[in-house]
Structure 1
Amino acid sequence: MTPQQIQLIRSSFEPLKPLAATVAEAFYAQLFNRDPALRALFRGDDMAAQGERLMQMLAAAIELLDRPASLELVLLKLGQRHAGYGVAEAHYASVGAALLDTLAAGLGHGFTPEVREAWTAMYGHVARTMQRGSASQPEPMAA
């Protein structure tokens, strides 16, 4: 990612911070609408708490964008954890599309082609790194 892309991500995320709960709720609505089978991965989880964790993870990743080694360690561990929850490689495309749709809706005209490209680059990096972490995690056991 370029320094300009990092700045675009940070500046576009800033107005969403005070709306974190609403943004997270919109994200999960997008995600489950796009891929209803993913709802089963959140077995009775408190979706408000899950949304809070999502927004905290996004904020932490954005903070580490200019420290790639630190970001990589966090994302590898996150990928391992998500593999344990049953997240498969195919799920990452649904998550990425839901994220971009949520950002487009939340930012409106502020979601310019350049901002979209920056977020696409960031999510691509996040997904690839988490998938590498996931590959080092044993398959989840059937319940």
Structure 2
Amino acid sequence: MTPDQIRLVQDSFREVVPIRVAAAALFYDRLFAIDADLRALFPVRDMTKQGAKLMASLGFVAHGLDRADTILPTVRVLAKRHVTYGVEERHYPIVGQALIETLAVGLGPAFTPPVRDAWEAAYGLLANVMIAAAREDQLAA
């Protein structure tokens, strides 16, 4: 990611924080609309706590992008945990689509093409690290 992309992600995430509860709900609505089978990965019906975890994770990543080497170990651990929840490699593009669609709605006109590109780059980085960590874990098993 470029420094400008990192700045765009960090700045736009600050705009998400005030609407984080609604954004999280929208994210899960989009996720389950894209692939209803993913609902089975979440044993609870009330997604409020899960939404708070999602927003905390996004904040952790967004704010750590300018020092990625410090956040990537945590991202790898998160990936391995997600495998135990039933997350598969094929789910990552679906999650990325739901995230981008959520940001587009939540940020409205502020979700410019450069902001979209920055978030796609950030999610691509995150997803690639998580997929690689999950593969390593599976190979070690």
1:34 aligns with 2:57: no
Q: Which digits, 9 at most, give the CA deviation of each residue in 1:101-136, with x for residues without a partner?
A: 000001111111100000000000000001112123
State how 1:83-98 maps to structure 2 within 5 Å: 83-98=83-98
| Cα distance in 1 between the residues matched to 2:45 and 2:130 | 21
- C-alpha deviation, 1:16, in angstroms: 1.1
Deviates more, 1:67-76 or 1:21-30: 67-76
- C-alpha deviation, 1:13, in angstroms: 1.0
The answer to whether the 8 A contact 2:19-2:106 is kept is: no
The answer to whether the 8 A contact 1:34-1:94 is kept is: yes
- C-alpha deviation, 1:19, in angstroms: 1.2
Deviates more, 1:94-103 or 1:68-77: 68-77
| Cα distance in 2 between the residues matched to 1:129 and 1:16 | 24
Identity %: 44
Q: Report what 1:121 is aligned to.
A: 121
Q: Indicate the structure with greater helix content.
A: 2
Equivalent pairs, count: 139
Cα RMSD after superposing both structures: 1.3
- C-alpha deviation, 1:71, in angstroms: 1.8
TM norm structure 2: 0.94
| Cα distance in 2 between the residues matched to 1:124 and 1:102 | 16
1:112 aligns with 2:95: no
- C-alpha deviation, 1:42, in angstroms: 0.3
Gaps of 5+ in 1: none
Q: Report what 2:57 is aligned to.
A: 57
| Cα distance in 1 between the residues matched to 2:34 and 2:46 | 20
Give the residue type in structure 1 aligned to 2:111: F
- C-alpha deviation, 1:63, in angstroms: 1.2
